[in-house]
Amino acid sequence: MANVVVVGAQWGDEGKGKIVDWLSERADVVARFQGGHNAGHTLVIGNSVYKLSLLPSGVVRGKLSVIGNGVVLDPWHLEAEIAKLGGQGVNITPDNLLIAENTSLILPLHGELDRAREGAVGVAKIGTTGRGIGPAYEDKVGRRAIRVADLADAATLETRVDRLLAHHDALRKGLGLDPIDRAGLIAALQAIAPKVLPFAAPVWKVLTEARRAGKRILFEGAQGALLDVDFGTYPYVTSSNTLAGQAATGVGLGPTAIDFVLGIVKAYTTRVGEGPFPAELFDEDGERLGTRGHEFGTVTGRKRRCGWFDAVLVRQTCATSGVSGIALTKLDVLDGFKTLKICVGYMLDGKQMDYLPTAANEQARCTPIYEEMEGWSESTAGARSWAQLPGAAIKYVRRIEELIQCPVALLSTSPERDDTILVTDPFAD
């Protein structure tokens, strides 16, 4: 049986939620493998809109949903998101949600540290979501995180808290913050533990058995390849690996579990937060993309920066994530543009570049080389077959495939799940 990884191939918000929802009908298990509640995945099903940050999008369809060890989990947010979905008629129980026992927790001190750093004078901010993602991953790698399994035993929990606070209290002193109330933190963790522990499971084992039983696993990535902590526009990135390779270690399966990598690609480019963005627009075309595409962040409500499609970046991320095929989304947002531009290379200090260099100062100096294409006046919104697309739109899609050296497997023409054109089935064996 084929297992599919869905990953963002730009700076996030490419439409992963919609595509995961569309694919999840044919999946048995949907698993998150990195990130946390910094993600914002929107699903539109008929008249209902679901916004998920931490829970895998498969929960809405009642699929077995899994939060893998690669995720950082805020237990209070988990409780709130479960309650919110419950209010929309989605009942989440240990029968349909499992959380890896070795998942690291995000605590209130992580969010506080994240926001204190972002507000610090004299240090360029990253523009994070302020949800404690970076500090929580630092503690995981620093071997002082509190993990889901630690919540089950009072003595272990106290030892873990002491190790954590030895680090944080020293750091907080330097930032002018009060030390953490140790007893208060332990009491809060003990109070939330019964909300988390019923979902705890050896996820690696459950998924291994699911594979043996011939079940289909859909891995749901968060953020996008250009926010990857190694291959993104560092330091303006998130703190996890967002590339497809992370799907394996983020749940405890080997890379041989992955059969198809579906890169989600928006038909233009957006980014939230700070950092380089060579094809960014500051004119009415950029405004038009933002307005037509409703480009406001799901998590923070911030206005997303908009630009033309950057084929250099997507060719690069298709390589670093090993993308088998892309889902091209939001093609309908381009309806009515007289002319479209595609970034096909950069100029850097008089030299032409066919990839984004690593050095931050060079990234900032890259200026786009554009190719122009004719737009289309017809509407593609809601199209469900190639035959419904104008010739110029098909040309645009074909040119993208050529430039990024990767085929289009799916095409999305509206937020609604069924407004999707299937070219190649990622689940086909």
Contacts made by residues 384-393, CB under 8 angstroms, sequence distance 24+: 384/413, 384/418, 384/419, 384/420, 384/421, 385/421, 386/421, 393/331, 393/334
168 is catalytic: no
Q: Is 16 annotated as a binding residue?
A: yes
- Out of 21, 37, 41, 266, the active site residue is 41
Residue 39 binding ligand IMO, by CB under 6 A: yes
Separation of first and last alpha carbons in the chain: 6
Shortest Cβ 298–ligand GDP spacing (Å) = 5
Is there a contact between 204 and 211 (Cβ–Cβ < 8 Å)?
no
Name the helix (H) or strand (E) containing 76: helix 75-87
140 is catalytic: yes
Q: Is 84 annotated as a binding residue?
A: no
41 is catalytic: yes
Name which of ligand GDP, Mg ion, ligand IMO, none residue 134 binds, using a CB cut-off of 5 to 8 Å depending on partner kind: ligand IMO
Residue 222 binding ligand IMO, by CB under 6 A: yes
Q: Which stretch binds ligand IMO (CB under 6 A): 93-101, 152-160, 219-227, 401-409?
A: 219-227
The torsion angle over the Cα atoms of residues 203, 209, 211 and 213, rounded to 10 degrees, is: -150
Q: Is 301 annotated as a binding residue?
A: yes
Helix, strand, or coil (residue 185): helix
**DSSP code per residue over 243-311:** STTHHHHTTT--GGG--EEEEEEESSEEE-SSS--TTB--SHHHHHHHHHTT-B-TTT-PBPEEE-EEH
Q: Is 391 annotated as a binding residue?
A: no
Number of residues near ligand IMO (by CB under 6 A) = 23
Sheet holding 260-266, edge to edge: 200-201, 97-100, 64-67, 29-32, 217-220, 4-8, 260-266, 325-329, 408-412, 420-422
For ligand IMO, which is the closer residue by CB, 11 or 231? 11
As beta bridge partners, residue 65 has 30, 97
Shortest Cβ 63–ligand GDP spacing (Å) = 17
Q: Is 305 annotated as a binding residue?
A: no
Residue 293 binding ligand IMO, by CB under 6 A: no
Length of the chain: 429
d(CA 322, CA 260): 9
Q: Which of 29, 58, 17 is nearest to 216 (CA)?
A: 29
Q: Is 119 annotated as a binding residue?
A: no
Shortest Cβ 131–ligand IMO spacing (Å) = 6
Among 8, 9, 10, 13, binds Mg ion (CB under 5 A): 13
Tokens read off for 402: 């050529």
Q: Which stretch binds Mg ion (CB under 5 A): 34-42, 89-97, 129-137, 212-220?
A: 34-42
Residue 129 binding ligand IMO, by CB under 6 A: yes
Cβ contacts of 401 within 8 Å, gap of 6 or more: 407, 408
Among 35, 40, 224, 368, binds Mg ion (CB under 5 A): 40
Residues making contact with ligand GDP (CB under 6 A) = 8, 12-18, 40-42, 44, 298, 329-330, 332-333, 412-415
For ligand GDP, which is the closer residue by CB, 222 or 356? 222
- What are the φ and ψ backbone dihedral angles of 131, each rounded to 5 degrees? -100, 10
Q: Is 317 annotated as a binding residue?
A: no
Distances (CA, A) of 268 to 4, 104, 198, 328, 353: 24, 35, 42, 10, 20
Name the helix (H) or strand (E) containing 344: strand 339-348
- Out of 140, 168, 266, 341, the active site residue is 140
Q: Is 196 annotated as a binding residue?
A: no
Shortest Cβ 22–ligand GDP spacing (Å) = 10
**Cis peptide preceding 135, ω within 30 of 0:** no
d(CA 125, CA 5): 31
Shortest Cβ 39–ligand IMO spacing (Å) = 3
Q: Is 32 annotated as a binding residue?
A: no
For ligand IMO, which is the closer residue by CB, 56 or 75? 56
Residue 38 binding ligand IMO, by CB under 6 A: yes
For ligand GDP, which is the closer residue by CB, 285 or 332? 332
Q: b or e along 120-130 (b: 16 or more beta carbons within 10 Å of the residue's beta carbon)?
A: eeeeeebebbb
Shortest Cβ 15–ligand GDP spacing (Å) = 3
Number of residues near Mg ion (by CB under 5 A) = 3
By annotation, the residues acting in catalysis are 13, 41, 140
Question: Could you list the residues that contact Mg ion (CB under 5 A)?
Answer: 13, 40, 298
**Binding-site annotation: residue ranges for substrate:** 298-304
Site for ligand IMO, rule CB under 6 A: 8, 11-13, 38-41, 126-129, 131, 133-134, 222-224, 227, 238-239, 272-273
* Residues making up the binding site: 12-18, 38-42, 129, 143, 223, 238, 298-304, 330-332, 412-414
Q: Binding site residues for Mg(2+), as ranges? A: 13, 40
